[in-house]
Amino acid sequence: MSHDPNCIFCKIVAGQIPSKKAFEDEDLIVFHDIQPWAPVHVLIVPKLHIVSHADLGPEHQSLAGKMMVLAPKLMRDLGVSGGFRTLINTGRDGGQEVMHLHMHVMGGPRPWAKG
């Protein structure tokens, strides 16, 4: 599996940096954001180091689909019932801060309205 030794998310995947995990399987790790924008804010991160959404190819179709299908299940499991928001920032101009593909999933009252 591809890994970037300088990537903070790769270090979380490898267990070198602790995180508050919400889910993990052979393909994905999900952990709570350390600077949440909503009452429930998790990041769905592939264990495979893919730089951004723009770098997804046909070979990643099932992985990307798995991320999308996991989001509503996680929100239900975490007690979110009134709706949620998914967000994938892509590239520097798209607001991506960590250059490892990840999906923000935010739930709770008005998760898009950062105070």
Residues with a known catalytic role? 102
Helix (H, G, I), strand (E, B) or coil at 107: strand
Angstrom distances, CA of residue 61 to CA of 18, 22, 78, 82 = 29, 23, 26, 29
Helix or strand run (H / E) with residue 46: strand 40-46
